[in-house]
Chains A and B, each alone.
Chain A
């Protein structure tokens, strides 16, 4: 009986240690992406979408529409890479300006930028992985970029 108890508690401890190690690794990765993403946001996005993500009047949309960013999660990488020229509705307001393409950005950069955006300005979507970005980019280069409103 005693042996069983010892064994169980040993297993429980080992499991907890492994599990917490994993969690930590994930959260470290998330934090790294987020802080790198902030820097890259400053370089590539901030001059239009502003430091508070609020955009500019009716010209440049804010990045605070959590529903839009969630529904279009799969398209976000493509919007950055190929730009946007369709009319989109953000927070109930229409925007028809042109978003310039940022074709030079690597998938890892996109992952970091999107991790930052989708976890700032009231968003809370968790990490964007490089693999997810690569898949999204392949998917949308097959179809023409469509905007889901």
Chain B
């Protein structure tokens, strides 16, 4: 009588271990659509995932950052402006901890898009980066035309940002960090003002990196 129950326990724990050791993968967010492809003469259905549309912006060192310069990195994108009195400082502070963790890891990049291009010129962005303690090109503060940035936020990152003179600072935007993989697919969205969610993002970035290292 005792032996079968032990066996059940043993098998059960085996299953449990199996579940735990299964490689965790991040979901692919955004819209997706099936496409028919012909492979070796057979019609197969493949899924096309939403990707970040091509862009080209200038960073704090006047270097052009575009899809091509990011092809070997996963990256975190967010939207901010330097004179922001509301959620940006805490977002910068939280992102700074993630930046410190992945410092000098060329597979990890950070993109902060300003949504106030009128005020946040290259020298202003440069000063902001310096004062935040950001060196080199790993974390880029990007300047682009207002329309292109807002459109990228909306269509690319499913985030939003717009001018609103009735709130402090004059611009409103979501406080999300978007985690993007090397294939430009969104793999995670985290509330940048929430320490716990940012810690989760940091862990998820490790998971995402192992995805590429196994290949």
Contact = CB atoms under 8 A, between A and B. Distances in A.
- Same complex origin of A and B: yes
Interface of A: 47-48, 50, 56-60, 97-98, 100
Given A56-B132, A58-B131, A58-B133, A48 B85 contact: yes
Contacts, number: 34
Contacts of A98: 83
B87 A47 contact: yes
Given A59-B128, A98-B83, A100-B168, A47 B89 contact: yes
A80 to B, nearest CB: 13
13 contacts: A47-B86, A56-B89, A57-B93, A58-B130, A58-B131, A58-B132, A58-B133, A59-B89, A59-B128, A59-B131, A98-B83, A100-B85, A100-B169
B93 A56 contact: yes
* Chain A at the B interface: SS class: loop
Contacts of A50: 89-90, 93
B92 interface: yes
Interface string B165-189: 0001100000000000000000000
B85 A56 contact: no
* Chain B at the A interface: SS class: helix
Nearest to A49: B89
Contact of B133 (A57, A60, A97): A57
B199 interface: no
Contacts of A59: 89, 92, 128, 131-132
B89 A60 contact: yes
A57 B133 CA distance: 7
Contacts of A47: 85-87, 89-90
Contacts of B98: none
A56 B168 CA distance: 19
Nearest to B88: A47
B85 A57 contact: no
* 3 pairs of A and B residues whose beta carbons are closest in the complex: A58-B131, A59-B131, A48-B89
A59 B87 CA distance: 14
B143 to A, nearest CB: 18
B122 interface: no
B132 A57 contact: yes
A100 B93 CA distance: 19
Interface string B58-99: 000000000000000000000000010111011011001000
A24 B107 CA distance: 61
B87 A56 contact: no
A97 B92 CA distance: 15
A142 B196 CA distance: 47
A58 B96 CA distance: 13
Nearest to A55: B89
A98 B128 CA distance: 12
Contacts of B168: 100
